[in-house]
Amino acid sequence: MISHARQHILNAFETLTSHRKSAHSTYLTSLPNYSVYMEYSGKPPIHPAYIAQLQGQIAEAHADLKRGIDADWRASVLRYPEVLDYFYSLVEVLIPDNAVYNPPEATGMP
């Protein structure tokens, strides 16, 4: 059960992260001159002021991505007790009516 709960949390985190990374990539490609910047490995033939602005936007986007992924991890981990409770609630323990309440003492034990 513990491994199922962990896997559930990891899968949920991976889903959140995947969506966040996709949105991040979409945002980067929407930036002006980003495709040229990437094509020229960060040294495109455009005015240095535009390059500096773009580099700032990229750095900010990467920082936002990291903060978002960290927040997703925190949120996922905080759900662990709830998920663990769910998996443990699936277990049903039945005690028969003739259950042994006072087992015989083992021989040789005080």
**What is the span of the domain harbouring residue 35?**
2-89
In a domain, 54, yes or no: yes
Q: What is the pLDDT of residue 24?
A: 98
pLDDT tens string, the chain, 110 residues long: the values are: 789 899 999 999 999 999 999 999 999 999 999 999 999 998 999 999 999 999 999 999 999 999 999 999 999 999 999 998 998 888 888 777 766 666 666 665 55
Report residue 8 as tokens: 């559930």
**Residues in Cβ contact with 34 at an 8 Å cutoff, skipping those fewer than 6 apart:** 28, 54, 58
Q: What are phi and psi of 100, to 5 degrees?
A: -80, 120
In a domain, 109, yes or no: no
In a domain, 29, yes or no: yes
Rounded Cα gap, residues 87 and 5, in angstroms:
7
In a domain, 101, yes or no: no
In a domain, 50, yes or no: yes
Q: What is the pLDDT of residue 110?
A: 52
**Cβ–Cβ < 8 Å for 76, 5:** no
**Cβ–Cβ < 8 Å for 8, 90:** no
In a domain, 102, yes or no: no
Please provide the distance, in angstroms rounded to a whole number, between the alpha carbons at the two ends of the chain: 38
In a domain, 84, yes or no: yes
Q: What are phi and psi of 102, to 5 degrees?
A: -130, 85
Query: Per the structure, how many domains does the chain have?
Result: 1
In a domain, 96, yes or no: no
Report residue 93 as tokens: 């323990």
Q: What is the pLDDT of residue 40?
A: 93
Rounded Cα gap, residues 33 and 48, in angstroms:
12
